[in-house]
Structure 1
């Protein structure tokens, strides 16, 4: 899966580790960075603090990461790997249009659960959006994920609608992330209603493409 990251902009490391000890050092740096982001927010985290809490001199951090932005980029790559794993692990099971409809709910719920379990991801994603280069990489990854879903499900859609369907998927995947960020910023009761509403919209759009009409309940 790490090789697949090249499609999202390549590795953020200054020097690629060849020894297990070096890879473990990078993992320690990233783990501490994510914990600090969750506790203090990205702006308050310093390279010196990351080095101190990850058990090594600051030179060992700069050896792999030229700055904090590079650490954020690497954390984003790890996050992308995890999200891709969720998608790749479920879309091959789709064999009918109904499976595809259910998959949109399942994928969203898995993603939402992951975000709730790791709230520091919210701060990470906000930082990604604030950085032009990283935001562009995030959009590229969103497009890649939407294309994966399109290739598996386009057989349920009339060929003349493929272009519109692909564009709709790209929009839905992008809005899924935005919806979850919003859901994490409000009360759990309101979050549940927002999530339910978004899932209803996605199911309605998908039903239109798969069956030629919107659900009767709408």
Structure 2
């Protein structure tokens, strides 16, 4: 799967790429401080030390900045999933790797205010929702490939659909878990892991 982009145009020179990185970093800081709803393009330009015209050259609106950040978080998550699941070849390894992935992902939601803000915005932004769906499918494919190694004789279509559903439900579980108290949230995540592992391994 190729990388998605919300940039109006891709920077070709090193100086332009560095300028875009300053813009994205400035937006991330502002979202962490005050949330994406309150962030203004002028503030991003000021903090990044670029002109507002330069900012608009690459980002046509605030939504495009948020979608760029969402893409980066999704890419990082995908790489983490691939790395964790790559060495898995048996059921015990799968249980350990999947559990570790979910725990890591939950901690990221707890630790990263920008990530929480972006995933909350996904509910109301169709383009963000579409990005979420694309990566959900891609992550489901990674999970399905792993399950096929663990259970090579299982029905491949059932594995693929169960894996896609597991990843989609994982996103919903994280959003729910961070909206309640820490103790209840951790319990919800633990229940999700038990339920999904049971279904995935029965599907496989």
TM-score range, shorter chain: over 0.9
Q: CA deviation at 1:27?
A: 1.2
Q: Does 1:29 align with 2:23?
A: yes
Answer whether contact 1:16 1:64 (CA < 8 A) is retained: yes
**Aligned ranges for residues 1-218 of structure 1 at < 5 Å?**
4-5=2-3, 10-157=4-151, 159=153, 161-210=155-204
Q: Is the 8 A contact 1:47 1:67 kept in 2?
A: yes
Counterparts of 1:201 and 1:45 in 2: how far apart (Å)? 39
Helix, strand or coil: the match of 2:58? coil
Q: CA deviation at 1:208?
A: 1.8
TM-score, with normalisation over the residues of structure 2? 0.92
Gaps of 5+ in 2: none
CA contact (8 A) 1:101 1:207 kept: no
Residue 161 of structure 1, CA deviation: 2.6
Which region of structure 1 is more displaced relative to structure 2, 192-201 or 160-169?
160-169
1:39 is displaced (CA, Å) by 2.1
Structure 1 residues 1-38: Cα deviation after superposition (integer angstroms, max 9, x where no partner): xx831xxxx32111211222211111111112122222
User: Is this contact kept in 2: 1:30–1:71, CA < 8 A?
Assistant: yes
Q: CA RMSD in A?
A: 1.7
Residue-by-residue CA offset, 1:102-124 (whole Å, 9 max, x unaligned): 22101111111222221221111
8 Å CA contact 1:101, 1:206 repeated in 2 = no
**1:128 CA displacement:** 2.6
Cα offset, 1:137, TM superposition: 2.2
User: Residue 214 of structure 1 corresponds to which residue in structure 2?
Assistant: none
- SS of the equivalent of 2:82 reads helix
Deviations 1:155-190 (A, max 9, x none): 333645322221111111011111111111111111
TM-score (ref. length: structure 1): 0.87
